[in-house]
Structure 1
């Protein structure tokens, strides 16, 4: 009976699905008709005369003011995304359409001028290399070994398995920098172990999601590289600025889990004494972590020491990942092929979004969008911190609906110039943000915001990553509830970074001066 009920179509869902399907069909027919008419105009009518067939789309919006253009561009983008169309092609496609509607055929030359600088930016080459490093370490089975070591070290504590999950996720974040892979992998490895030990579902699920999203913040974060490219910041400085906030958030998660389990042991029972191992065995287990940890510290050390560029460090990391896999007898041609294919797919997705969003946002800024947004925000009369608060809220909300790369390329080019124009004199008598460090400080705040958006109900990506590997008896409502307390901890961590900017700026200032 339950199966029959579960398989019964929901009338509301059917109507919604049919509505969007018919809307997409009508939109496709309408666009095809407009394209055919415009092709007839291009081939058979002089563009400099008033004659045309039925109507002319080129220059249709030439007289539209920037406020109207803002509503049209971003409203159309929102509708297209709600229809389920991929972000990469929606942004690029709409960018081309609006360029043509505002200008003419000659104005389409903006497109290569926006894409070419991205294609020649050497820092972007680090992205596929870091993704390949992550893929090799994952396929070599090193993540399972790492969790096993931390699990045996901390399993004797109340809440030890959840704390071990967070610590393993922190180490994993320093290895991979890819969010989805970390949440899914820890969900597959750590969740069954915690459920077997009768852990509270909210602590078990929350620790996986909160720990898994640390890859957004802790180097070598892919998102940090993209922010540095878009905001024209140093990748090394941004990495250094995100280390202390990353470790701080990880420590807060561990402290919460251990304290709550100590107060109520039934929430996170310790493993039985007969299953625990001696201190000597624990020390011997650490041998399994030596090679991957040396790899991580080598890559980050070369980068922070200024010995290697991000691309060179990523290249060394990729080669080192292969060496580590060989040392653990986990390297094979099939593994190399699979890692290469997954790297190509992930890199292509990121680069297509970069190109599409660059065309869309670049054209909007050229039309005066940056000045319009800046004037609109500054005219609210809010203080610098009030404007920052609005931006933080917008980033979290955008994160519920958009891909993290899309948010960066749509919002950061508009937000960063505004932030640079503001002065942050400190709150509650605490130190101000140095003028030359504002973009760096905002970059780390942005990364923490993206962490928050990933676990924010109802549409945070990490919620659905984890749902895909959860047993069926765990409901989506339970996953939502488990995210809330860790979302609160992230909010507290973000507040600390805002109030005490030295958490972000001290280490880059110490290393780079």
Structure 2
């Protein structure tokens, strides 16, 4: 048995503790109850006519068919919240609840909704870009390019007050254009950049905040995995969404850098520069740039093919994956072992994303089939708020969801419901500023959603970036310090979101210029 250590130092089997016994009994009772339900329903299905009021002991199939959409809404999303708070994985919770409510509310024929929702996703070619971009990121990471990239930017910026934090943000921006995976960016930069900043006496909040904020840029800057998923769900062009996210992503990166440099200028002690004897000449800095040539060419090739309409997202991702293997080979990091590790990482990450997609699609698909979409739309539009008031409400809901759910779950649960609401609104501009053209609303809202998801990664108490960085922090840095370090950058992200709302051209200008 697994020992459980007590405060006194003694060891006690888990099953001998009161909580362990209670948990074991609850699991046994739950299993027996579930087996009883399955057995009774099996007997009903085999020996009793489902269309007659006749059954063995009880019949659950269709037992909630009388429910109106309002109580069904509270029941479905309330039960989802409860099981998520119990710590059960979202990938299986949404699908399991979806199937359960299909059975309880509908009939056997309604179970056809499950393959009907999943099969179109399985045949959507754009989704094939996800594993390819994840594989590309894994190969580049194993090639050691992230360390080289940070070293180059560090040497260039280290002489400035706050230079290491600035270098971290700039390196994270380049990294975002290479990988598009948040966890890898935050953890890797935390391992590389955090010790360097702490060694130089950087303020903990500046050091941690710059790593977390820079790492979240991967959600926004192409080739963002989340942008592909949004494009699939919202039936939006991936290329247009990528182009729409470029300017906001660079704008946020510039805001982070500006904040760090101003803070360090006003108070050099929070971000002291590298000592003069460790700095290098301009000639040496220029020579260092050769280390960035291969990855930058690869990024520009992939994004150039995509933005130019020469290749589809899948084709561009395939070229990027092959190019990543060539770059790894050039750096002496390509081997069968590294290829295997990258492939396993890709399979795990892709499986997680797809399982969440399938499960959430069944859950939301059933809810929409029952009239949930019309109920939510009428409820929100019936509040009498203006278009921008409703947009603000949707943004707040996304922030709240971001505190508790992961980004894939939020996308698949919220976006299919939010998109029809946004399409029904006209955004005429605030304070006399330009309006959002009707044909650009879905694109514009998509980028707002991506910026909002950046905020969710930094939002206490459960923002993912907070726990990613906690895993690589020294023990003396408390979780409270990590929370505080996120707040200023969270406010900067909110300002960036507000600018994208007030000035929609920040989002729509580049796609309109390229695609017309």
The TM-score range, normalised by the shorter chain, is: over 0.9
Alignment partners' CA distance in 2, 1:115 and 1:151: 47
After TM superposition, the structure 1 = structure 2 runs for residues 205-354 of structure 1, keeping only pairs within 5 Å, are 205-354=208-357
Cα 1:245–1:325 change in 2 (3 A) is same
Task: Tell me which of 379, 382, 386 is aligned to 1:383.
Answer: 386
Deviation, 1:50, is 1.8
CA contact (8 A) 1:24 1:83 kept: no
- What is the aligned partner in structure 1 of residue 124 from structure 2? 121
- What is the aligned partner in structure 2 of residue 494 from structure 1? 497
Alignment partners' CA distance in 2, 1:305 and 1:151: 32
Alignment partners' CA distance in 1, 2:495 and 2:74: 34
Deviation, 1:49, is 2.0
- What is the aligned partner in structure 1 of residue 81 from structure 2? 78
Deviation, 1:34, is 1.7
Secondary structure at 2:375 match in 1: helix
Deviation, 1:155, is 0.4
Cα 1:436–1:169 change in 2 (3 A) is same
Alignment partners' CA distance in 2, 1:8 and 1:395: 47
After TM superposition, the structure 1 = structure 2 runs for residues 138-153 of structure 1, keeping only pairs within 5 Å, are 138-153=141-156
- What is the aligned partner in structure 1 of residue 486 from structure 2? 483
Cα 1:282–1:230 change in 2 (3 A) is same
Cα 1:19–1:90 change in 2 (3 A) is farther
* Matching of residue 174 in structure 1 with residue 177 in structure 2: yes
Write the deviation string for residues 186-221 of structure 1: whole angstroms up to 9, x where unpaired: 000000000000100000000000000000000000
Secondary structure at 1:498 match in 2: helix
Deviation, 1:29, is 4.1
Alignment partners' CA distance in 2, 1:493 and 1:499: 10
Deviation, 1:16, is 9.4
Cα 1:194–1:416 change in 2 (3 A) is same
CA contact (8 A) 1:20 1:83 kept: no
Q: Which runs of 5+ in 2 are unaligned?
A: 12-16
* Matching of residue 163 in structure 1 with residue 146 in structure 2: no
Alignment partners' CA distance in 2, 1:222 and 1:27: 38
Instruction: Say which is worse superposed, 124-133 or 75-84, in terms of deviation.
Output: 75-84
Alignment partners' CA distance in 1, 2:19 and 2:209: 32
Cα 1:24–1:234 change in 2 (3 A) is farther
Q: Which runs of 5+ in 1 are unaligned?
A: none
CA contact (8 A) 1:96 1:108 kept: yes
Cα 1:457–1:8 change in 2 (3 A) is farther
- What is the aligned partner in structure 1 of residue 14 from structure 2? none
Task: Tell me which of 413, 416, 420 is aligned to 1:413.
Answer: 416
Alignment partners' CA distance in 2, 1:16 and 1:356: 32
- What is the aligned partner in structure 2 of residue 448 from structure 1? 451
Secondary structure at 2:58 match in 1: coil
Alignment partners' CA distance in 2, 1:181 and 1:7: 37
With the length of structure 1 as denominator, give the TM-score of the two structures.
0.96
Alignment partners' CA distance in 2, 1:6 and 1:353: 43
Alignment partners' CA distance in 2, 1:489 and 1:8: 50
Write the deviation string for residues 375-421 of structure 1: whole angstroms up to 9, x where unpaired: 11011111000000011011011011111101000000000010011
Alignment partners' CA distance in 1, 2:443 and 2:8: 50
Alignment partners' CA distance in 2, 1:222 and 1:158: 34
* Matching of residue 98 in structure 1 with residue 101 in structure 2: yes
Deviation, 1:344, is 0.4
Cα 1:162–1:100 change in 2 (3 A) is same
- What is the aligned partner in structure 2 of residue 511 from structure 1? 514
Secondary structure at 2:500 match in 1: helix
Deviation, 1:475, is 0.1
* Matching of residue 47 in structure 1 with residue 50 in structure 2: yes
Alignment partners' CA distance in 1, 2:50 and 2:313: 49
* Matching of residue 467 in structure 1 with residue 477 in structure 2: no
Write the deviation string for residues 264-312 of structure 1: whole angstroms up to 9, x where unpaired: 0000000100000111110000000000000000000000000000000
* Matching of residue 197 in structure 1 with residue 197 in structure 2: no
Alignment partners' CA distance in 2, 1:70 and 1:143: 46
